[in-house]
Amino acid sequence: MIKYYSSTFYLLLSLFSSFYAQNVGINATGATAHQSAALDVSSTNAGFLPPRMNTVQRDAIASPSAGLMLYNTDNNCLQFFDGIAWSSCLVSAANALICGSSTINGVYSEGIALNASNTISIDVNISIPGNYTISTNTQNGYSFTATGTFATTGTQTITLTGNGTPTASQTDNFIVTLSGSIYTCKLSIQVGVLPKNCLAYLNKGYTTDGIYAIDSDGAGGNAPYNCYCDMTTAGGGWTLVFNHNTAGGYWANQTEADFFNVGSPGLATNKYSILMKIDELKSAPEYEFRINFPSLNVSNHWKQSFDPRSGGSTISPVAGYQAINIGSSANLWGGLERSSATTFLDGSVNHPNWYYSVGSSAPWNGGIPSYSPVTDKVQLFIR
């Protein structure tokens, strides 16, 4: 009996030793691993799938061994540990997008066509100079593309131009591809509703004077429109609601002075007004105005709770008046009120004269009555 158990033990030991000495084959040809491989995996309909993880998970591996390999789902590529650090992506000698460098530029809003500010910037590691095309898929009615020539090797930043019009407010997921490369990058763009005024743009980090698209009534039924934003004067965030240069003549009537040339905002438009929008454009219960006489280098900056379009004020200054920075308080300045047939609004409150005129329908001493002398230009901003 003892002899029987001893024979069985030696047989198992012999088999184990033989197996341990062999290389391991999985689906290997002839069920035998190639002699040069410790592990031989063979298949005609499947591949070898290494561990998949993102960069945070990769970096959490405790004491990785030199030679450890994985697939990085953030960079969409294979990497190995060289004993000190993780390698760059294992790619052939070809051009490759650097996904972590991508930057999304511009504001994306439902129903507003993309313009020159709507771009994607991304770095490319160039190994082979030549022509290229970098593009995205189309999502929600818009996409991005760039074409050109890589003149030299190294890293180059490429700007993709946006085209189209977002059709819905949502998060859009894009895949960026480079011609001739098997690797791609992923990025997301949030399409939202337009800011309601220039101050809202300023609060988003926009600091350049110019034309901006706004939706002043938000979820209301009125269509978005462009306006001129002063982002640098007196703290910035000012929406231009009125501009008059007498080179373009005077206002035909108060109705015209209330809403005119809406499609041509800016300081270069001689007669421009969106005064009827001031309730939508203000950012607080009170009105914060700045009236500017550029030819005289004089401005008044103040707040008032009184709607200047509602009629003449019975008190001076008007209700809720708060002086902030008044360049000239001569000639009965007291905010803005509704005026007479000669001008739409004026600042000589509760007085028959129409100094600080906004909307002059006729010249006075050859120009627009300001705080004292006449002027040829007047601008009104709201914030």
Q: For residue 105, what is the domain's CATH number?
A: 2.60.40.10
Angle at CA of residue 280, ends 253 and 282, nearest 5°: 100
pLDDT of residue 30: 53
Query: Per-residue confidence of the chain (383 residues) as pLDDT tens digits?
Result: 444 445 554 544 444 444 455 676 676 555 567 777 667 777 878 878 889 999 999 999 999 999 898 888 876 678 888 889 888 777 555 799 999 999 999 989 887 789 999 999 999 999 889 999 999 999 999 999 999 999 999 999 999 999 999 988 899 999 999 998 888 999 999 998 889 999 999 998 889 999 998 999 987 888 889 999 999 999 999 999 999 999 999 999 999 999 999 999 999 999 999 999 999 999 999 999 999 999 999 999 999 999 999 999 999 999 999 999 999 877 889 999 999 889 999 999 999 889 999 999 999 999 999 988 899 999 999 99
Could you tell me if residue 111 is inside a domain? yes
Say whether both 118 and 172 belong to one domain: yes
**Domain end call among 190, 215, 234:** 190
pLDDT of residue 372: 84
Could you tell me if residue 91 is inside a domain? no
Say whether both 6 and 37 belong to one domain: yes
Could you tell me if residue 88 is inside a domain? no
Could you tell me if residue 292 is inside a domain? yes
Supply the range of the domain harboring residue 247. Answer: 198-382
Say whether both 137 and 206 belong to one domain: no
Q: State the total domains in the chain.
A: 3
How would you list the strands of the sheet with 52-53, edge to edge?
52-53, 69-72, 77-80
Could you tell me if residue 90 is inside a domain? no
Locate the DSSP E strands across 231-297: 238-245, 271-273, 287-293
Say whether both 62 and 105 belong to one domain: no
Question: Domain containing 306 — which CATH number?
Answer: 3.90.215
Could you tell me if residue 67 is inside a domain? yes
Q: What b/e sequence results for 56-90 when a residue is b if at least 16 CB atoms lie within 10 Å of its CB, and e otherwise?
A: eebeeeeebeeebebbbeebebebbbeeeebeeee
Say whether both 356 and 235 belong to one domain: yes
Say whether both 288 and 374 belong to one domain: yes
pLDDT of residue 28: 56
Token pair for 207: 């600091």
Environment class of 121 (CB within 10 Å of its CB; exposed 0-12, middle 13-18, buried 19+): middle
Say whether both 240 and 378 belong to one domain: yes
Token pair for 227: 């306006």
How many Cβ atoms sit within 10 Å of the Cβ of residue 218? 11
**Domain end call among 152, 174, 190:** 190
Q: Is the pTM of this model over 0.85?
A: no
Could you tell me if residue 207 is inside a domain? yes
Give, as one character, the DSSP assignment of residue 290.
E
Say whether both 281 and 369 belong to one domain: yes
Say whether both 110 and 180 belong to one domain: yes
Say whether both 255 and 285 belong to one domain: yes
Please enumerate in sequence order all residues whose Cβ is within 8 A of that of 291, keeping only pairs 6 or more positions apart, or say none.
299, 300, 336, 347, 356, 358, 378, 379, 380, 381
Say whether both 305 and 287 belong to one domain: yes
* Torsional class of 46: left (φ above 0), alpha (ψ -120 to 50), beta (otherwise): beta
Say whether both 23 and 167 belong to one domain: no
Token pair for 164: 């189209």
**Domain end call among 49, 80, 111:** 80
Could you tell me if residue 87 is inside a domain? no
